[in-house]
Amino acid sequence: MNVKQILESLGLDKHPRVVLGRDPGSGYAMTENPATGEPLAWVKLDDAAAYEKEAAGAVESFKAWREVPAPVRGQVVRAIGDALRAKRDALGALVSLEVGKILAEGVGEVQESIDIADFAVGLSRQLYGMTMPSERRRHRIQETWHPLGPIGVITAFNFPNAVWAWNAMVAAVCGDTILWKPSLMATLTAIATNSIAAQVAESMGHPGVFRLVIGTDDVVGHRLVADKRVPLISATGSCRMGKAVGAAVAQRIGRTLLELGGNNAVIVEPSADLDLALRAITFSAVGTAGQRCTTTRRMIVHESIADAFVARLAAAYRTIKIGDPLAEGTLVGPLVNARAVEGYHHAVAEAIKQGGTLVCGGKAAKPAGLAGHFVEPTIIRAPASNRLPISDDETFAPILYVFTYKDLDDAIAMNNRVEQGLSSAILTNDVRSMERFIGPAGTDCGLAYVNLATSGAEIGGAFGGEKETGGGRESGSDSWKAYMRRQTATINGGRELSLAQGIRFE
């Protein structure tokens, strides 16, 4: 599909807030094709009044939606999943076009949204509460989970479809309405995705459940975060954003679900299957051009195998095809914009200044006929001291820093020494090492992988990280509880008034 076909197949060429082919001036934001550096479209921004209309609408729609039985809400989500299935390839291509991930990953992202819709349909019949024995005769206590309210969903550019779905599909079966503020770098994907969900829900008699507010952080982002009508802000993005959003929501004693930056390491043991390790680490470090929150950014490899393994990895890196993300055979597309390329060059230069050795990569890449934001996947070895301060930061680019270790406990300490705590992995065939790594004195991250690298989570588990990654959990398992309010009801089924703790009040 070419650009025109992709936009047309999703109705974006006729969408009232999308302008193609000319800059309409102020009040619009340009969304760029990162592979070419050219504008894809201009998207109308919401002002304060437009935000107010959507926020007030989300409150009104919630009043009806919360009383729709949860399994009926599940049927709406099932239909949204089917609509996403029907549009999967076009939507996946739009993700590739707008944020530059290769087509297989763009389509895979939409598949993830379909998977979470399926999960949420089942969940709609399993929003279980508990009952517990009362200490009083003929009394009982029950916990019930009720819908929470309009949920604010703030998303990062790099998963412009799936992160919304993790939140929206689950929140919708929980009885919440969704007010989505996407990244300004991925507005077309947001418009196409939200239109699909909103149209399905409306056609089934539930208008206004899925809402979109597009605007600058100053006008829309800060309003949403400060809005007392929105009891939960689920925000995905950088640690810097999470610190600002977390503090602002805490000011009004609202709830947050924070999914922030990662700085993920793999430990490679001498016992590991090194062929498997090579493939797993290459995908995880280089895939999505290093722009996943779970990208492998640090490799901690046993000193006895380090030289040979790094040489093999570098040889694999040199075979990777960089180019048009929509073309078959491409493994690495562009970074999202020129600022990301600057961040990459800065990190490479700093690492070398700090004593690192460039093993491969380190430069802008220039695939034929494309003037976009391409860089070479890069490996940098830390000095013998194992200190490389730049590696403590998350640089959103395909840079892998290599450290060596002698003793597994030292490797685990290196894994844990950064501020972020999202994902981690060990490649080993030693069962004791595995147990140590995933045990209470092991990795401090929310996600731990064994004989895999750090990216590629499935939707069934709770997803999220500790420390500056924010502590939130989304997607599978019991993450749904974040989107509901718990009520503990004590019911007296007898004729007597008896007080708890045996208190007499005659």
Which residues contact ligand NAD by CB under 6 A? 154-159, 163, 181, 183, 217, 221-222, 225, 236-238, 241, 244-245, 259-262, 293, 394, 396, 422, 469
93 in Cβ contact with 103 (< 8 Å): yes
Token pair, residue 317, equals: 């890196």
Active site residue 60: no
CA distance 213 to 165: 16
In the complex, least distance from residue 405 CB atom to ligand NAD, rounded to whole angstroms = 25
From CA 105, how far away is CA 111, in angstroms rounded? 9
In angstroms, give the least distance from the CB of 105 to ligand NAD: 13
Q: Per the residue annotation, which of 54, 174, 269, 293 is the catalytic one?
A: 293
Half-sphere exposure of residue 444: CA atoms within 13 angstroms, side-chain side: 20
Q: Which is nearer to ligand NAD, 245 or 426 (CB)?
A: 245
CA distance 66 to 70: 8
Q: How far is the CB of 257 from ligand NAD (least distance, A)?
A: 10
Q: For residues 396 and 401, which CB has a smaller minimum distance to ligand NAD in the complex?
A: 396
* Closest distance to ligand NAD from the beta carbon of 116 (Å): 13
Q: In angstroms, rounded to a whole number, what is the distance separating the alpha carbons of residues 364 and 208?
A: 45
DSSP string, 339-372: HHHHHHHHHHHHHHHTT-EEEE--SB---TT--S
Return the number of the residue (73 or 223) whose C-beta is nearest ligand NAD: 223
Q: Do residues 134 and 479 lie in contact, with contact meaning Cβ atoms separated by under 8 Å? A: no
Provide the minimum distance between the beta carbon of 320 and ligand NAD in the complex, in angstroms, as a whole number: 22
Provide the minimum distance between the beta carbon of 112 and ligand NAD in the complex, in angstroms, as a whole number: 12
Least CB distance from residue 131 to ligand NAD, whole Å? 34
Query: DSSP H helical segments within 289-429, as ranges?
Result: 306-318, 338-353, 408-416
Residue among 404 and 424 whose Cβ is closer to ligand NAD: 424
The CA-CA-CA angle for residues 127, 200, 172, to 5°, reads 25
- One-character DSSP codes across 71-125: HHHHHHHHHHHHHHHHTHHHHHHHHHHHH---HHHHHHHHHHHHHHHHHHHHHTT
Residue 205's CB is within 10 A of a number of other CB atoms, namely 10
Q: What is the largest CA-CA distance in the chain?
A: 89
Q: Which is it for strands 139-147 and 28-33: parallel, antiparallel or unpaired?
A: unpaired
* CB environment 406-445: b (16+ within 10 A), e (fewer): eebeebbebbbebebbbbbbbbbeeeebbebbeeeebbbb
Please name the amino acid found at residue 477: S
Cβ proximity to ligand NAD: between 124 and 256 the closer is: 256
Cα R_g (the chain), whole angstroms: 24
Name the residue nearer to ligand NAD (CB basis): 339 or 387.
339
Cβ proximity to ligand NAD, 213 vs 301, nearer residue: 213
Spatial distance between the Cα atoms of 496 and 99, rounded to a whole number of angstroms? 65
CB of 396 to ligand NAD, least distance (A): 6
Between 257 and 388, whose beta carbon lies closer to ligand NAD?
A: 257
Q: Which of 98, 259, 269, 376 is catalytic?
A: 259
239 catalytic residue (yes or no) = no
Tell me the residue nearest to ligand NAD as measured from the CB: 237
Question: Position of tokens 């089934």?
Answer: 204
Catalytic residue positions, numbered: 259, 293
